[in-house]
Amino acid sequence: MRKMISTLLLAAAVALAAMPSKAEDAPAVIRFGDVGFGFGTPFGVGLQAIADAKGFVADEFKGTSTKVEFTYYTGTGPAINEALSNGQLDFASYGAVPNIIGKANGLDTIILASYGGTTIFGAARPDLDIKSIADLKGKKVAIQKATIIHWGLVTALKNAGLSEKDITIVDLKNADQLAAIAAKSVDAVFGADFLLPLQDKGIAKIFYKSSDAGATGDGFGAFLVTDKFRKAYPEATQKVVNGFVKAAQWLADDKNREEAFQIWSRAGTPVDVIRKSNTGSLGEKYNPRLDNFFVARYKSGIAFDREQKLIRRDVDLDAWVDRSFVDKAVASLKLQSLWPDRAASGDLQN
């Protein structure tokens, strides 16, 4: 009798082992972080803001109990790193400089997609004869350090034959930068398109636009997930990336251009200003692919962080990047022709 029971138990165990495992448990809530601009209730000006406003990510979880939450941090990348460190976020979209710092300091993030490009502007006091980067020599320039804007300023200085030693950098957050240039306590400010209204108000004049330097001039960053979430919820991670890529596809369609500008204007920048700062192809600018161009950009970011002594050890980019989710999303949506592979220079690969 005991032998028969043992045989039956063994058979049952074998049968259970042979059964396909059940689908993963869906997370109750998925928390997203992004860089916030504006005052009052901050909002974003990139791909994740489109995915939020248009419901592309939320739609992937229709019919499930999973909720999505979006938070926009006016403290930009450093604030997002802190939120990730405190376990308050699952996904985040922010600039390369701070997310490289976070990774080098032990954050368990994984890069899932590019968030596209960030156009960087230089604004100077109207009473000063500043017409180019070269004219910044000996001037006070406000930026928020350890951000992709910081990388943009240093890169622009190098291209003009200058270095940080040729200027005085004043480290200020976005709102404080606006107050400083208005009070003439700094000579120039580097930032995103939230600076453009200063020209209309006569507070400053725009003298630099990063996209004028070509594809390698703009800032860059990534859409990341915590490794803990990716391993626990691979199916949910794929759904999130699907929604992110659908947002990029929607943005690439010219008929949605004006609606996108309306969405981004929630961050406090007028639509006509956003229109001026986005004159090129949005499909190209917000390409989510992790191709050779993306890799070259991130190598530049890692080198910058080392040069600035923002990190003390190298980051293994190959181990940090997981192309599988975005490649699967692009293939399933048949979008390979929309975003063909780019070389490190930004040119299309042969």
Examine the domain organization and report whether 100 and 230 are in the same domain. yes
Q: Are residues 185 and 227 in the same domain?
A: no
CB of 115 closer than 8 Å to CB of 244: no
Q: Tell me the backbone φ, ψ of residue 24, rounded to 5 degrees.
A: -60, 150
Q: What is the pLDDT along the chain (350 residues), one digit of tens a residue?
A: 444 344 434 444 444 343 444 457 889 999 999 999 876 789 999 999 999 999 999 999 999 999 999 999 988 899 999 999 999 999 999 999 999 999 999 999 999 999 988 899 999 999 999 999 999 999 999 999 988 999 999 999 999 999 999 999 999 988 899 999 999 999 999 998 888 889 889 999 999 999 888 778 899 999 999 999 999 999 999 999 999 999 999 999 999 999 999 999 999 888 998 998 888 899 999 999 999 999 999 999 999 999 999 999 889 999 999 999 999 999 999 999 999 999 998 888 86
Pick the last residue of a domain from 213, 245, 276. Answer: 213
What is the domain range of residue 206? Answer: 121-213
Pair (57, 205) in one structural domain: no
- Tell me if 15 is assigned to some domain: no
Q: Token digits for 131?
A: 């017409």
Does one domain contain both 277 and 139?
no
Q: Measure the CA–CA gap between 44 and 30, rounded to whole angstroms.
A: 18
Q: Is there a single domain that holds both residue 165 and residue 76?
A: no
Residue 170 belongs to some domain of the structure: yes
| Phi and psi angles of residue 91, each rounded to the nearest 5 degrees, phi first | -130, 155
Q: Which residues pair with 345 in a beta bridge?
A: none
- Spell out the alpha helix ranges (H) of the chain: 2-18, 47-53, 56-59, 76-85, 96-104, 148-159, 174-182, 197-200, 227-232, 234-252, 257-264, 271-277, 282-285, 292-307, 317-320, 324-332
Count of the separate structural domains present in the chain: 2
Residue 55 domain-assigned (yes or no): yes
- Return the CATH number at 69: 3.40.190.10
Place of tokens 């690439």: 252
Q: Could you tell me if 72 and 41 lie in one domain?
A: yes
Residue 38 phi, psi (nearest 5):
90, 180
Same domain, 111 and 226: yes
Size of the chain, expressed as the number of residues it contains: 350
- Number of CB atoms found within 10 A of residue 107's CB: 17
